[in-house]
Amino acid sequence: MCFFGIFKVFAVFTLMNITLPVMSDRRPEESTILKKPQKVLLVSIDGFRWDLHKITDTPNIDRVIKNGVTVDHVLNVFPTKTLPNHQSIVTGLFPEHHGMVDNDFIDKDLGATFSLENQKCMEDPKFWQQSLPIWIQVQRQTKYNTGNLFWPGYKVPYKNYNLFFNGTPAYHFKDNYYNETSTYLPSKSLQFLYEKGMGDYNKTFYKLIDQAVEWLAQDDVIFVPLYSMEPDLTLHESGVEHKDVKKQIEQLDQYVGFIYDNITRHPALKDQVNVIFIGDHGHVTTSADRMIDLSKLVNITRDIEGVFGFTNVFLYIMPNKTRKVYEQLKSKADKSTLFRVFLKENIPKYLHIGDNSRTGDILILPEPGWIVVDKTRLPDYLKEPDWVRSEHGYDSMNRDMSPGFFAFGPMLKKGFKKFCIKTVDLYELMCKILGISPDPNDGKFDRVKPLLIKNKNRKAWKSLKDNIYEDWSLDGNSYQNNLTMNGDFSANTTYIDDNVKDRSSYVGNLTTKTKLNNGNILRNDDAPSLKDFS
């Protein structure tokens, strides 16, 4: 039988309405007694780079940080893209373990190609069975239900588990304004909503927030993930420095305030709901004069089966031609400072991407701000002579790929700042809040434990369904064969020499710029050493 320990959580420490300042990791722990089951509203802000809230006034984000927790540096997973990071957040696994190794990939075992842009792929269970998201775990472990508002993978049945409560799929809305025939991709699904009479995107997203709050107000719903497609869309279209990005951050701040007020002023939710805001990746500006032409490096038509990505380029090679293609690329890379190239088996271990059959045979990794393209087959938006946009997908140790994080709620400390965590740690944090047992994962609870307060309540609330947890297991060669509970694969990794300054220098010097050999100035902020995350 599966046992769950007593929730050890803490209440916000306030005394005589004195606001406490942001403290360091060494702040004394706080405690309280929480009598009700705790809930989580998980809000994904696509493209929310760690420093975007600093480009304009964000009083509501500041309010959440003042009354909750934040982290200076979140090390997300590679590739620093939407699907790998969203799946890591809700499973606690690196992409090489959860299987969503990129937004697009070839699964040679299945003989199939996956694409984030393809509705059938996004709903086809065969691509998703290497891992199990937390919303399914809640259902199989507890008596509670979950909702889901466009988090990638929300329509996928896992081992015959799907999102249901009251006999209705949980991705349907009370107002019935979601149409089953619309495309799955979260951004396009949201576009569908407001193009079909919901008004502009802002009104649509407020509707989604209302739905999340309505669900969480029900006694039997304890977890709802919510996806926002902005500011990612605007960043891709305009670049980080564009005025439209500032407008999107100001609008995001309004969303945050709306959520904060809806939760903290709700008599039933203020003592139960913990809200986590997390970006999936950062962004860096690129332009038409920073394209590396892959067609001049190798013979794509003759030697390569598939090319995926601009910023992290996975090549799937024709049989018996991998070594030839690699040597051609390596000879060019050795003469350039603009990109690196790796055979699959030699991809640096800290990227946690090489140990999966879906990973490409060769990885080309350009310097941030540069993209690798086939100029003989450019998409229309890259054919303009002077385009400027922003991209992501680069090395996760690059500071500009790091997402922002802030959270508040009855189980989280007030005015607390931590130096660094990993994206995969958030799964452990949410499992602790929800009172469920985590599956084997790559996160570390010890890294997020300082964010929590202690719960002195010795009587744990009932949440288990009878014997359902023990009977469930993944098929095939699952990640469970190679993991131990709370294992951290980076512990035995040889760290790269990233020449990182000490912590005090890092905190005080976040705007260091590096000049590349072509004269272009790109942001390349100092990042913590990998050892800071161990």
Task: Read off the CATH number of the domain in which 353 is found.
Answer: 3.30.1360.180
Does residue 87 belong to any structural domain of this protein? yes
Q: What is the mean pLDDT of residues 21-43?
A: 65
Between residues 69 and 381, the one the model is more confident about: 69
- Residue 368 sits in the same domain as residue 409: no
Percent of the chain with pLDDT over 70: 71
- Residue 246 sits in the same domain as residue 350: no
* CB crowding 130-157: b at 16 or more within 10 Å, else e: bbbbbbbbbbbbbebbbbbbbbbbbbbe
Domain final position from 343, 373, 391: 391
Domain range spanning residue 353?
Answer: 291-391
Residue 504 above 80 pLDDT? no
Q: What is the mean pLDDT of residues 134-156?
A: 87
pLDDT, position 533: 67
Q: What is the mean pLDDT of residues 9-13?
A: 33
Nearest to 457 by CA among 303, 297, 271, 244: 271
The H or E element containing residue 62 is: helix 59-66
Residue 29 above 50 pLDDT? no
Between residues 34 and 312, the one the model is more confident about: 312
Decide if 52 contacts 405 (C-beta within 8 A).
no
Residue 177 above 90 pLDDT? no
pLDDT, position 147: 86
Residue 83 above 50 pLDDT? yes
Residue 420, beta-bridge partner list? 73
- Residue 299 sits in the same domain as residue 415: no
Q: CA–CA separation, 489 vs 94, rounded Å?
A: 9
pLDDT, position 32: 62
- Residue 98 sits in the same domain as residue 244: yes
Between residues 123 and 515, the one the model is more confident about: 123
Q: Between 201-216 and 186-193, two packed helices, what is the crossing angle to 10 degrees?
A: 100
Please count the other Cβ atoms lying within 10 Å of the Cβ belonging to residue 459. Answer: 9
Domain final position from 370, 391, 412: 391
- Residue 268 sits in the same domain as residue 304: no
Going by the DSSP 8-state scheme, the letter that residue 107 receives in this structure is: E
Residue 307 above 50 pLDDT? yes
Q: What is the mean pLDDT of residues 31-43?
A: 83
Instruction: Verify cis geometry, omega within 30 degrees of 0, for the bond prior to 79.
Output: yes
Residue 158, beta-bridge partner list? 161
Instruction: Verify cis geometry, omega within 30 degrees of 0, for the bond prior to 231.
Output: yes
Does residue 26 belong to any structural domain of this protein? no
How many H-runs (helices) and E-runs (strands) does the chain carry? 14, 23
Backbone angles phi, psi at 274, to 5 degrees: -105, 125
Summary mean pLDDT of the chain:
78
Domain final position from 460, 480, 498: 460
Backbone angles phi, psi at 308, to 5 degrees: -130, 125
pLDDT, position 261: 96
Residue 84 above 60 pLDDT? yes
- Residue 279 sits in the same domain as residue 299: no
Nearest to 160 by CA among 437, 471, 480: 471
Does residue 377 belong to any structural domain of this protein? yes
Please count the other Cβ atoms lying within 10 Å of the Cβ belonging to residue 458. Answer: 8
- Residue 329 sits in the same domain as residue 445: no
Residue 198 above 60 pLDDT? no
Categorise residue 388: left if φ over 0, alpha if ψ from -120 to 50, beta otherwise: beta
| Geometric angle at alpha carbon 258, from 252 and 262, rounded to 5° | 150
**What's CA 200's distance to the chain center, in Å?**
26
**Cβ neighbours for 265, distance < 8 A, ≥ 6 positions apart:** none
Residue 74, beta-bridge partner list? 421
Does residue 516 belong to any structural domain of this protein? no
Does residue 74 belong to any structural domain of this protein? yes
Nearest to 252 by CA among 40, 45, 41, 42: 45
Does residue 354 belong to any structural domain of this protein? yes
Residue 308, beta-bridge partner list? 314
Q: What is the mean pLDDT of residues 198-216?
A: 82
Confidence of residue 455 (pLDDT cuts 50, 70, 90): low
Q: Is 129 exposed, middle or buried (0-12, 13-18, 19+ CB in 10 A)?
A: middle
Backbone angles phi, psi at 189, to 5 degrees: -65, -40
Does residue 20 belong to any structural domain of this protein? no
Decide if 216 contacts 226 (C-beta within 8 A).
no
Q: What is the mean pLDDT of residues 406-419?
A: 97
- Residue 151 sits in the same domain as residue 239: yes
Nearest to 37 by CA among 378, 436, 508: 436
pLDDT, position 161: 62
Does residue 364 belong to any structural domain of this protein? yes
Residue 7 above 90 pLDDT? no
Per-residue model confidence as pLDDT tens digits over 221-273: 999 999 999 999 999 999 999 999 999 999 999 999 999 999 999 999 999 99
Cα separation of the two ends of the chain:
32
**Cβ neighbours for 44, distance < 8 A, ≥ 6 positions apart:** 86, 89, 151, 225, 226, 227, 228, 278, 279, 280
Per-residue model confidence as pLDDT tens digits over 458-488: 344 444 333 232 223 333 233 333 332 222 3
Query: Going by DSSP bridges, is the β-strand pair 339-343/284-287 parallel, antiparallel, or unpaired?
Result: unpaired
Please count the other Cβ atoms lying within 10 Å of the Cβ belonging to residue 107. Answer: 16
Please count the other Cβ atoms lying within 10 Å of the Cβ belonging to residue 320. Answer: 7
pLDDT, position 103: 97
Q: Please report, for the domain that includes residue 46, its CATH number.
A: 3.40.720.10
Q: What is the mean pLDDT of residues 67-89?
A: 98
Confidence of residue 123 (pLDDT cuts 50, 70, 90): confident
- Residue 75 sits in the same domain as residue 217: yes
Decide if 30 contacts 377 (C-beta within 8 A).
no
**Cβ neighbours for 291, distance < 8 A, ≥ 6 positions apart:** 370, 371, 372, 373, 375, 382
- Residue 108 sits in the same domain as residue 58: yes
pLDDT, position 8: 33
pLDDT, position 492: 28
Q: CA–CA separation, 488 vs 273, rounded Å?
A: 29
- Residue 335 sits in the same domain as residue 267: no
Please count the other Cβ atoms lying within 10 Å of the Cβ belonging to residue 238. Answer: 18
Please count the other Cβ atoms lying within 10 Å of the Cβ belonging to residue 371. Answer: 20
Confidence of residue 532 (pLDDT cuts 50, 70, 90): low
- Among 19-23, 87-91, 453-457, the least confident range: 19-23
Backbone angles phi, psi at 206, to 5 degrees: -60, -35
Residue 512 above 60 pLDDT? no
Residue 14 above 80 pLDDT? no
| Overall domain count for the chain | 2
Backbone angles phi, psi at 196, to 5 degrees: -105, 30
- Residue 159 sits in the same domain as residue 268: yes
- Among 330-339, 350-359, 516-525, the least confident range: 516-525
